[in-house]
Amino acid sequence: MNTPIRRLAAIVLVLFGTLLLSTTYIQFVQAASLRDQPNNRRTLLENYARERGPILVNGKAIAQSVPSDDELKYRRRYSDAELYAHLTGYYSFVYGAGGGLERTEDALLSGSSDQLFYRRMVDLVTGR
């Protein structure tokens, strides 16, 4: 084989190896940090595809998710918003869960809290 062709083949092999290493690093090592970035649109749309739990006062929902007809499948609606704004906070597509119960109980309202699993297991064991 010709020496220049052999050198070119070695360079191309090194470039392919570098490409494979960098894509592997991005997909496996950086995946969690890329997913958790606050401006990741896919994650935000996934959050709005699930219904969030209501915030209740005396059995009346003062914050609840209502179905929507656009790319956000559910939107947050606050009844008596001015009265309970300091308590509920807000849940926004741009700013996420901000202030009040929307922020402090975000995991519980979004359904990702471990407390929900524990409560469900207790209900199954006790027959409730």
Query: Is 58 in the same domain as 100?
Result: yes
The predicted pLDDT at position 121 comes to 67
Query: Is 62 in the same domain as 31?
Result: no
Question: Which of 73, 70, 83, 79 lies closest to 52 in space, CA to CA?
Answer: 73
The predicted pLDDT at position 46 comes to 82
Query: Is 15 in the same domain as 66?
Result: no
Query: Is 65 in the same domain as 117?
Result: yes
Q: What is the pTM of this model?
A: 0.60
The predicted pLDDT at position 128 comes to 67
Query: Is 15 in the same domain as 51?
Result: no
Count of the separate structural domains present in the chain? 2
List residues bridging with 61 in a β-sheet: 56
The predicted pLDDT at position 24 comes to 94
Query: Is 72 in the same domain as 122?
Result: yes
Residue 23 buriedness (CB in 10 A; 0-12 / 13-18 / 19+): exposed
Query: Is 55 in the same domain as 31?
Result: no
Query: Is 76 in the same domain as 109?
Result: yes
Give pLDDT < 50 ranges for the chain. none
The amino acid sitting at 87 is: L
Query: Is 26 in the same domain as 77?
Result: no
Residue 52 belongs to domain spanning: 43-126
The predicted pLDDT at position 35 comes to 81
Query: Is 28 in the same domain as 91?
Result: no
